[in-house]
Structure 1
Amino acid sequence: MLSEIHERGSLFLNTWTIVTIVLWVLIIAYAGWELLQYFKRKKAATSLDNETFKEDMRRAQIVDVREKDVFNSGHILGARNIPYSQLKQRSGELRNDQPIYLYEKKRTMSYRAALLLKKQGFANLYVLEDGYSGWDGKIKRKKHVN
């Protein structure tokens, strides 16, 4: 009887050991996949600080990838709004022969947008380093109509 309880305990312990190992393998695989995606996004575009962005923005297409209501509350002067959620369908509005400057509140979605555009054959993609939240240049706000 005692040996039977011992065997069941060992089986239970072995089952939980296997489950734990499988979970750790899954966690490590997911972390590796996320790391790979991070480097793919970083490789898709070059980061620009505010000064470099300002210096060259007249020769580039400036695209705000935030949603329209957020764009209307304030955006970089001269930017056009193509939300990330619509970028795949609206990428035809962009020219491939000119640099594309992307930005949003921070920069995560900008890098995702750059990766998407790169897959569609666009080159010369740039991301505002600190995003709109770090922008110190001219901005435009839509006036509210009542």
Structure 2
Amino acid sequence: MDSSTVINILIFALAAWFIYSRFAPTKGLKTLKDPDFQKELQQKDNFLADVREPHEYQRGHIQGAVNIPLSQLRNRINDFPNDKPIYLYCQSGMRSKQAAKILSKSGKTQLAHLLGVISAYSGKVVK
């Protein structure tokens, strides 16, 4: 095998790992569509976190949400409760899924996130 073949194999393997790590299921994470997300938020004593950046949060967020950006999450793990379900959302669902992976690795077990884009959320949004 020549060196260009080895390099191509390594690039492909890294790309495949990157894609898998972004889209692989997160253990214990419930993915909820808007109606189910709203229903669970109303029925349970929970913690709702918006993991978007502050400027995105300020443009509009779900009522009752605490802004803990994904970029700050590792330093703010202790802001999340251990004894309540944690509901996450972001702009598209990607950051909330990443946040769930981090929280899961830190021992949080009751995790759910909103499927899809925040603009599809039909509940009350605060601006």
TM-score bucket of the superposed structures, by smaller chain: 0.7 to 0.9
Which among 24, 30, 42 is matched to residue 8 of structure 2? 24
Residue 112 of structure 1 pairs with residue 95 of structure 2: no
Report the Cα offset of residue 39 of structure 1.
5.2
- Give the TM-score taking structure 2 as reference length: 0.88
Report the Cα offset of residue 20 of structure 1.
3.1
In structure 1, the gaps of 5 or more residues are 1-16, 142-146
Report the Cα offset of residue 35 of structure 1.
4.2
Structure 1 residues 130 and 101 mapped into 2: Cα distance closer, same or farther (>3 Å)?
same
Report the Cα offset of residue 98 of structure 1.
0.9
Code of the residue aligned with 2:108 in structure 1: it is: F
Residue 126 of structure 1 pairs with residue 112 of structure 2: yes
- Secondary structure of 1:118's partner? helix
Which among 37, 43, 47 is matched to residue 31 of structure 2? 47
Q: Where do 1:96-111 residues align within 5 Å? A: 96-111=82-97
Residue 62 of structure 1 pairs with residue 48 of structure 2: yes
Structure 1 residues 100 and 81 mapped into 2: Cα distance closer, same or farther (>3 Å)?
same
Query: Runs in 1 of length 4+ with deviation above 6 angstroms?
Result: none
- Secondary structure of 1:102's partner? strand
Equivalent-residue separation in structure 2 for 1:133 and 1:18 (angstroms): 50
- Secondary structure of 2:103's partner? helix
- Give the TM-score taking structure 1 as reference length: 0.77
User: Which structure has the larger Rg over C-alpha atoms?
Assistant: 1
In terms of fraction of residues, the more helix-rich structure is 1
Code of the residue aligned with 1:27 in structure 2: it is: I
- How many residue pairs get aligned? The number is 124
Equivalent-residue separation in structure 1 for 2:115 and 2:123 (angstroms): 13
- Secondary structure of 2:88's partner? strand
Say whether the 8 Å CA contact 1:48–1:129 is kept in structure 2.
yes
Q: Which residue of 1 aligns with 2:74?
A: 88
Q: Which has the higher contact order (CA 8 A, sep 6+)?
A: 2
Q: Which residue of 2 aligns with 1:38?
A: 22
